[in-house]
């Protein structure tokens, strides 16, 4: 009989145990030659969400501002949180190689998302005041 975590594991292409998202299982011996890098794709996705939010801010229409607000705050924040989650998990690997500026970029993206969302909120406030 296995542990609770066993039901989420499968085997990867190399025959080693993996968890549900493809990382080596924590109790698996880690190959010293395995190189794990900072998961910057999540930061790129957050940047794309914020760029889409800025484009929607420039377009007229209340619905576009609602979608832009959600892109700037919700989607961008979730992407940065996923970056921090996967980065923390990757740091447990002996072969982790950090790309400079990843954590600082994540913090900057959170602040920028809040500022873009504030701009969308400003639109709602000025529309409601009329």
Condensed to tens digits (0 to 9), the pLDDT of residues 73-121 reads 999 999 999 999 988 888 888 778 888 888 899 999 999 999 999 999 9
Dig out the tokens for 100 from the structure.
Answer: 């400079």
**Quick count: other Cβ atoms within 10 Å of Cβ 87?**
22
Chain length of the chain: 130
Average pLDDT over residues 48-72: 91
Rounded percentage of the chain residues whose pLDDT exceeds 70: 74
Reading the block at residue 130, the tokens are: 């009329």
Cα(27)–Cα(76) distance, integer angstroms: 32
Q: Specify the pTM.
A: 0.69
Q: Residue 13 — very low, low, confident or very high, per pLDDT cuts 50/70/90?
A: low
Burial of 52 (0-12, 13-18, 19+ CB in 10 A): middle
């Amino acid at each position: 009989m296995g542990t609770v975590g066993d039901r989420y594991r499968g085997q990867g292409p190399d025959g080693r145990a993996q968890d549900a998202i493809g990382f080596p299982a924590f109790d698996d011996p880690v190959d010293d030659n395995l190189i794990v890098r900072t998961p910057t794709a999540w930061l790129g996705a957050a940047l794309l969400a914020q760029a889409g939010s800025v484009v929607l801010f420039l377009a007229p229409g209340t619905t576009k501002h609602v979608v832009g607000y959600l892109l700037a705050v919700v989607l961008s924040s979730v992407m940065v949180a996923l970056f921090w989650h996967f980065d923390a998990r990757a740091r447990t690997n002996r072969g982790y190689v950090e790309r400079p500026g990843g954590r600082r970029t994540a913090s900057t993206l959170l602040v920028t998302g809040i500022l873009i969302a504030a701009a969308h909120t400003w639109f709602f406030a000025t529309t409601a005041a009329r």
